[in-house]
Structure formats: structure tokens, C-alpha cells
Structure 1
Amino acid sequence: MSFRGGRALLVSSEVRAPEAMPVPSEIVCSMGELVERVDERDEVLAVVERGEAIRHRWLHRIATIVCRNRAGHFLVHRRPDEVALFPGQFNWMLGGAVEVAESYEEAAARELVEELGVHARPRFLFKFLCEGVISPYWLALHEVVVTQPVRPDPSEVTWHAWLPEPELTDLVGHRDFVADAREAFARYRALSQRPETRCTEAREAVRPSAAIRAEPAPSAHRRDPGAGRRDAGVGPHRERRATR
């Protein structure tokens, strides 16, 4: 896949199977923010530094956002070459770690402002237990329709474009596409219905609205019938049992 004039041209769709990779020390040292360590049911166990969670492969929470425009195209970006995580790779999601006492939706809205300069309330779609190339974590995916200009943070985004779904599908198969994002894309496409009215529009002024639950994508991480609703991500369920 190469890019000319902001458009994607298919050159190669070679896909390399994701492999667990050693965690560079600079990644661990640079991630001192506090996060909630959680279990396989997404229930809080403790508050730890994110770098520590990655080093020990402890589960924690990540909130991501898929941005679409009025035409239904997806925002795709390339990460800078000098960043510690996934340098120079392509992604169709924005996002980051959920902070202590923060909900997935709150984290998604915060990340949207920080990385794109867009104020909106992304809608929660689903969450799943992602094995992760670097460390396992709970990944919550949100979606929003962006109708205002975007102002990408150059420390996070070095290139971006709005791609129609067929071109995004081609890019997902490229070897320089973030491996963790492939599984999220497959689950996103597995949703049986994706009406346009499902998306929250991002405008200059956004009225508060109640969280809207979406049907989950199929998940292989259900532990028991009682936990299935949480594991499959029917809604942004939160447990508040952390010891602060």
C-alpha cells in the first residue's frame, strides 16, 4: 500500500501474523500514568502505573474511537516514526489508556479532543479482551461522525486521510497496519447492522445525551453466563471496587 495525494493505492496486501514482541524499556519508562488494573471480567483489582501493567502483562483498559465523515468515509492515520508504540504504522482508530475512575466513554471523548481537537461524545459500540502485541488489555471501541475540521496532534498523527470502506479494508491487510487494530476492524464489520443513525455527530456544540447501548460483536472471551454481558461489551459497564 502506498499513498499519493492523500489517497491509498494497493501495492501489497501481505499480512504478517501478529507476534508477541518484547517491551522496549523506553516504552515502560515513558508510561508513568496511573491506570486501573482489571481482571478477565473487567473488574478493578488495583491502581498501577501503565508501564508496570505492560511489563507484567496485567490487564488494563484502552478506549478507542473510529471517526467517520458525512460521506461514511473512515479517518485513517499514520503514526510518527519516532514514537515508542507502533512507529510509522497505520491505524483506523484513535485512543489511549483509560484513567483512574474514568469511564470508557469519558476516556474516548478526552482522547478525541487531545488527538484531533474535536469535541464530541463518541458512542460506545463494544469491548473485547485483546491479547495485544505488546500487552493484553480490554479494548473498548467507540464511533463518531465528525462534521467539523480536524486538527491532528502532530506528536500522534503524521498523516491522515478519509478513506471509503473498500480502501480501508485493503489497508487493514497491509503489513504496516497496527496488528491489534485488525481484530477490532474484524469485530466492527461483524456487527449485523450499522445504520448511520447509530453514530453521534461531532459538532462545535454537543448536547449531553444518554449512553446508547449497541449489540455486541461475537466474542470468544465469555467466561460464564453471568459474565457474558460484561465480556461481550453490551454496554460500557464499570465496576468501582478499586482501592484508591
Structure 2
Amino acid sequence: MSDSSRDASSSSDEILDIVDLHDEVVGQAPRGEAYTRGLRHRCVFVQARDAQGRIFVHRRTATKLVFPSLYDMFVGGVVGAGESYDDAALREAEEELGVSGLPRPVPLFKFLYEAPAGPGRDGAASGGGGVRQSWWSAVYEVPCLLPVRPQADEVAWYDFLSQEEVDARLGVWEWVPDGLAAYERLRAPRG
């Protein structure tokens, strides 16, 4: 899978399971092809909180394959071919936070994210005549009581912010749209 020495070209070669509207695997494709062709795949979003309950928030590096330089209140990424959501959540959380020995992230819910028409995942215009992007998104939470050492090639800035601080920045900072959609669902009353 990925590691801190990975570059954008090897990241785009990572093989992903391609899934249907019911999250059933219907094929496999390299990550770059999945993005370019708008093939539905799987992602994980992990909200990490410190001992004071503050949320790990970061700004993605400018070199990220998708949503460069935007803020996110989750760590996570794509689920590799044959990988479970649970395994991907733990792998991605440990990689992006730069820790090992996290408890297994707790699954909260799953939803199908459908990107708005217009700009693609990289902030540029979508290729292929406006290819519609969507991915199954599994949302988790995990306590992170370890000192974090985020990957320099993934995270340009980070801090742990209170819920109030995050909410105050929602209309100010530019957030990754899928993370924002997951956050809004997480914060919505459930009944």
C-alpha cells in the first residue's frame, strides 16, 4: 500500500476495488484510472481525537493527488483492492497521524458520496466531459493519545481543535468537500 516515500505517480497506480451502487465489488482499476473515469470506489474517514476530546484537523499538502491544500477534519483515504474498510481505517489513521499502536477505529456509519458537478477531485475541471465522481465513504472515530508525527508529504499543517473551533472555521477555511459532507452527517441529529 502507501508509505511516506510514495509519490503521486505510484499513488495513481494503486489498485482499487470498483463497486456498484450497493457497494458490491464489480471490478478493479488503478487509482488514477478510477479518478479519471469516475469509477465508484471505497474510502475511509477517521476522526481522531486527543485526550481532551479535540479533533485532529490538518491542511493537505499542495502535492496531494486529490483536494490539494484544503483542510480536513478527518484522516483517511482510499480502500485498497481486497482490503476491508476496518483495515483501511486503521492503516490510514496510523499513516497520516504518524503513529503505531492506535486502537482499532470504531465504525460510525457509511454513505455514498456524490461529488457535485464541475471541478474534479484535484480542484481542476473534470476530464472526460464532466465525469461524475462518487465513492462509498465509511466514517470512523478513534482516540489518539499518542504524540502525532504526521507525514510531511500528506500534511502541511495540523493541530487538535475543539468542536467549537472547528465549527467556527467551517465557513472560513476551504475544506475537502467529501470530508465536509461526512462531518455534516456526523454532526446531524440521529433518530
Equivalent in 156, 178, 181 of residue 183 of structure 1: 181
How far apart, CA to CA, are the structure 1 residues paired with 2:149 and 2:137?
24
Deviates more, 1:129-138 or 1:147-156: 129-138
The normalised TM-score by structure 2 is 0.81
Percent identity of equivalent pairs: 38
Aligned counterparts, 1:23-62, within 5 A:
30-62=11-43
Equivalent in 160, 163, 166 of residue 164 of structure 2: 166
Equivalent in 141, 158, 169 of residue 143 of structure 1: 141
How far apart, CA to CA, are the structure 1 residues paired with 2:145 and 2:109?
23
SS for the counterpart of 1:75 is strand
Answer yes or no: is 1:87 the counterpart of 2:85: no
Give 1:54 deviation, angstroms.
Answer: 1.3
* Conservation of the 8 A alpha-carbon contact between 1:68 and 1:146: yes
* Conservation of the 8 A alpha-carbon contact between 2:45 and 2:179: no
How far apart, CA to CA, are the structure 1 residues paired with 2:27 and 2:42?
12
Larger radius of gyration: 1
SS for the counterpart of 2:155 is coil
SS for the counterpart of 2:47 is strand
How far apart, CA to CA, are the structure 1 residues paired with 2:185 and 2:93?
21
Aligned counterparts, 1:1-244, within 5 A:
30-118=11-99, 119-120=101-102, 121-132=104-115, 134=121, 135-192=133-190
Q: Number of residue pairs matched?
A: 168
How far apart, CA to CA, are the structure 2 residues paired with 1:104 and 1:42?
11
Query: Deviations along 1:174-229, whole A, 9 cap, x unmatched?
Result: 3511122111111001254xxxxxxxxxxxxxxxxxxxxxxxxx8xxxxxxxxxxx
Larger strand percent: 2
* Conservation of the 8 A alpha-carbon contact between 2:11 and 2:31: no
How far apart, CA to CA, are the structure 1 residues paired with 2:24 and 2:31?
17
- Check 1:143–1:50 CA distance in 2 against 1; reply closer, same or farther (3 A cut): same
Give 1:48 deviation, angstroms.
Answer: 1.2
How far apart, CA to CA, are the structure 2 residues paired with 1:146 and 1:128?
24
Give 1:148 deviation, angstroms.
Answer: 1.0
The normalised TM-score by structure 1 is 0.64
How far apart, CA to CA, are the structure 2 residues paired with 1:81 and 1:103?
28
* Conservation of the 8 A alpha-carbon contact between 2:106 and 2:141: yes
* Conservation of the 8 A alpha-carbon contact between 2:71 and 2:173: no
How far apart, CA to CA, are the structure 2 residues paired with 1:78 and 1:95?
13
